Amino acid sequence: MEHDIKKIFESKVSFRILFGIGIAIVALLIFSLGVIVGFHKASYGHAWEENYERNFGFMPGRLPLDNFPNASGAIGKIIKITLPTIIVEDRNNTEKVILIKDDTQIQEMREQITINDLRIDDFVVVIGTPNAQGQIEAKLIRVMPIGI
Amino acid sequence: MKDKLTKAFKNSVYEPNQDLEGLIWSSIIKRDKRNAQFKLWAFGLVGVASLAGLVPTFKILFTDLTRSGFYEYFSLIFSDTGSIISYWKELAFSLAESLPIISIISVLSLLFVCFLSIKYIMKQINRDQLISSLTLSI
Amino acid sequence: MPQESDEEIIILYKNGEEEAFRDLVNRYTTPLYNFTARLASKNDASDIVQETFIKVWKNINRFDPKKAGFKTWIFTIARNTTTDFLRKKKSILFTDLEKEIDEDVISFAENIPDESLLPDATLQKLEDSEFLNKTLEKLRINYREVLILHYQEEMTFEEIGRVLDKPLNTVKSQHRRALIELRKIIE
């Protein structure tokens, strides 16, 4: 009986079963990661659309969205400064409202700067967390030289 | 009865032509060689096609990486490691969201096909050499 | 030096020793030729054997020694190849012959055990190979193949059953009928 059990577990079939289960686990983990990132983006995208008029002051005929915008950051030029918010025009021409809070770190290259040092047309990289108002609460804003 | 019958049957075996064995072996070798050459050409074509496809696909990938902002987010890791560690979650999300998944999958798929083709081409070349040596020995 | 078994040769072949397959060709060409020549004809046997070996070579990875021995497997392929060949030539089909049962012959030998179906006098006649070959030609194909496999290739009835894809009892009864018919032809 013991020998039979050992034989079963050492057989090719059991290896294939284990391998199949392993692949399924990895696939499900990757899928879950995708769902989390997708949900993250979709939530922000929805909030961004819902609050467009409130954030930007007008409502266009058709919202310029062919895909959900990145929810955790923005890269682009500052097109408007209305402290404590700035509006950044992202790479795909999506405008994002960045909310600068007390704990937001603002850097120019490696030097710390203040909120007042930000200028229109500054090229910034922002990372943060989306909120329910369709804004990105910045954790870090880094001003980069233009051309990067 | 069985033993006598077995002996009788064994004495009545039909013998084939002397060269039948050689004929059979050479026909197998011929088919094997043909298979190996066909596979060599097939994998060769696939390999070349995948290699050719990699050039524009890589270009698209680099463009997408630039456009999506992945480089900029990635560069933050080297700017101020201390503060980045505090915001690792946001940075991770930014990196994940800016990954050009389709381009990456395209490049990886073509690389996979390319390497697989090279592997099988080498296998077929070895096989072809082996079959050629067997052909000489017939 | 003891000869390698069929299974050992196959393992060698699968491990890259291409020449090992040649040993199988050398080993089985004559038995297969003899078998197929008796079912079809001497003229066709060479082609059938060649085709059999090519099929064996193509499907060698499917051979499972746990299911059946190599000899059984190769003879099964040879038999099927012969059947297909004869079918293409629109020759006699094996299944047609099986429908004919000679009831008188069966009842006559009902009480005689298999071992005693052929008396010594008959067996002595069969020792003449030419006579045996001519007699076998007169025998029905499905009886012929049972006798060849059992007495020439020394297969058991179980192995013959696998080759012919028939239950054991059918093979045994076919063997019995083959001997009865053989006797009838000789006498």
- Give the C-alpha separation, C94 to C88, whole Å: 13
**Closest Cα in chain C to B6:** C151
Domain C100-186 has CATH 1.10.10.1100: no
Q: Which residues of A95-109 are buried (b: 16+ CB within 10 A; e: fewer)?
A: bbbbbbeeebbbbbe
Domain boundaries in chain C?
A: 6-88, 100-186
| Average pLDDT of the segment spanning A121-130 | 90
Q: Which candidate from C31, C115, C129 shows the least CB-CB separation from B12? A: C129
ipTM for the complex shown: 0.80
Residue B70: give the domain boundaries: 34-137
* CB contact A109 to B (< 8 Å): yes
Give B18's contacts in chain C (Cβ within 8 Å).
Answer: none
Above 60 in pLDDT, residue A62? no
Which chain B residue is nearest to residue A67, measuring alpha carbons? B97
Average pLDDT, chain A: 83
Work out whether strand A123-130 and strand A73-82 pair parallel, antiparallel, or are unpaired: antiparallel
pLDDT, residue B114, reads 92
Neighbours of chain B (3+ CB pairs under 8 A): A, C
C99 vs C168, which has greater pLDDT? C168
User: Helix or strand or coil: residue A84?
Assistant: coil
CB contact under 8 A, A37 and B69: no
Query: What's the pLDDT at C2?
Result: 65
Is B28 within 8 Å of C129 when comparing Cβ atoms? no
CA–CA distance, B7 with B2 (Å, rounded to integer): 8
In tens, the pLDDT along B74-124 reads: 888 877 677 778 888 888 888 888 888 889 999 999 999 999 999 988 888
Residues 6 or more apart whose Cβ sits within 8 Å of residue A84: A99, A100, A101, A115
* Placement of tokens 């076998």 in the chain: C136
- Domain C6-88, CATH among 1.10.1740.10, 3.40.190.10, 2.60.40.10, 3.30.379.10: 1.10.1740.10
Residue A45, pLDDT > 60, answer: yes
Token pair of B120 as six digits: 């099988």
Interval B9-25: pLDDT, tens: 888 888 898 899 999 99
DSSP A128: E
Q: Which CATH number does the domain A1-148 belong to among 1.10.540.10, 2.40.50.320, 3.40.50.300, 3.20.20.370?
A: 2.40.50.320
Structure tokens, C78: 């040879």
The set of chains that have 3 or more CB pairs under 8 A with A is: B
Please list every residue in chain C whose beta carbon sits closer than 8 Å to the beta carbon of residue B25: 22, 25
